[in-house]
Structure 1
């Protein structure tokens, strides 16, 4: 359930009617995984936004709605989301949901000494969590530091006419440490597209549990 909370905290919406819960995503597999994790029928609406399809899973569940409120979610959460009440044993599942919902796993090749060693390439890995709420990003950074000892940096991105956006970034070795924990349980729900980025990187570099 912690994974579902992470998805709703990022890609979800709690209606003002205090009963309807919506998850919106361009990843059909994510929507299907979300519904399956909740034990609900695989029913969703498909819309075209631009050239890409977007999938909306909407249902009414007052008991679940009230429980989500009790752990820190709320209607119109984007700018006001703060701490999420999650026990330590379920933190990895929550964070995996936050990452799948509105985060990125990035791999790129860097040539740090191109002039002297033009053929030396260095592969980098990073993960980023995105939010319009500074208090949520600050909470997430402090919680991951307390639980796992990893330090992330926060950057603010400002665009005229839009709300400020905050990015919590982790560098290569912190990302490796975190991703090993987030994907420790191979049977846990996940967005396959993002997991594959990590899985391929780990296979190339040997940095799964016990590596690098």
Structure 2
């Protein structure tokens, strides 16, 4: 078997161990085994601490996810997007390119754990050692160690739903002010479909475009984007400042805002065609697919007549049914 190449220098390994990281944590970052890390520490006469004593260096409110609040809903939404539960470690991990929001979350969790940076990716990491917190995320909120493609939508009290969505948006969302679109991306089709249905209850008109292993949920239109921003930032507490600034670029009075029809936006039309095909492939029922994609049957037949690529894709799906 080919040996793994260590991606971390020996001085760096020693430094991270002495700062409180476990051998397993260092091994994951260095692309080697914990056994190799322990061997390096032993060869360099690094003083070893009693088993698990390093965990007590840092503190955290381990019961944080037991009680609902606006801030807890945000952190849960953020974790659903950018969080991780390492399978073999009693740890809760947050990652983000923006270190400021991790600092805010750390303060909210009453944590003293350090925020570290992955030297290869530049992504900032907040790793919190807590068996209780990990178990609460799994048992109370349905999070799993491998949640990217199988995450179920958690129960969120209605009064905190906008905060949860803001957290998820800050983790896996984007706003394109010039194109007047808001989008979310996720690997779990179940989660994205549920989010779509929930947002529809708030009079938004989201649509999903699926490609390979990822599903993108879009909100489109000048008025829609403005209203969405007003909704998620009402009574805001935690949030990423640069994303909030993008929503504030709108200078037109709210009563004058209008959504452009989809027909003037080629990319939006393409996205709607893909959404219809997605729903048709899902259930094989054209009227149901049109209803799910919010597309009139006459519009469908016009696309079928005038768009050869759309016709080919639709017929390919039909032939498999």
> How many positions carry a matched residue from both structures?
184
Matching residue of 2:194: 139
Matching residue of 1:93: 163
Please tell me whether residue 46 in structure 1 is matched to residue 95 in structure 2: no
- Among 101, 105, 124, the residue aligned to 1:55: 124
Deviation at 1:18, TM superposition (A): 6.2
Q: What secondary structure sits across from 1:94 in the alignment?
A: helix
Q: Which structure has more helix as a fraction of its residues?
A: 2
Q: What secondary structure sits across from 1:144 in the alignment?
A: helix
Report the Cα distance in structure 2 between the residues aligned to 1:165 and 1:46, rounded to whole angstroms.
26
- Among 143, 155, 174, the residue aligned to 1:73: 143
Higher-RCO chain (CA-CA 8 Å, sequence separation at least 6) = 1
| Structure 1 residues without counterparts, runs of 5 or longer | 109-123, 159-163
1:26-62, Cα deviation, whole Å (9 max, x unpaired) = 1111211221221212621112235xx2111001122
Within a 5 Å distance, the mapping from 1:167-186 to structure 2 comes to: 167-172=216-221, 173-186=223-236
Report the Cα distance in structure 2 between the residues aligned to 1:211 and 1:84, rounded to whole angstroms.
37
Is the radius of gyration larger for structure 1 or structure 2?
A: 2
| Structure 2 residues without counterparts, runs of 5 or longer | 1-71, 258-321
Report the Cα distance in structure 2 between the residues aligned to 1:90 and 1:62, rounded to whole angstroms.
26
Q: Structure 2 length as normaliser, TM-score? A: 0.54
Q: Over aligned residues, Cα RMSD in angstroms? A: 1.7
Please tell me whether residue 37 in structure 1 is matched to residue 108 in structure 2: yes
Q: What secondary structure sits across from 2:134 in the alignment?
A: helix
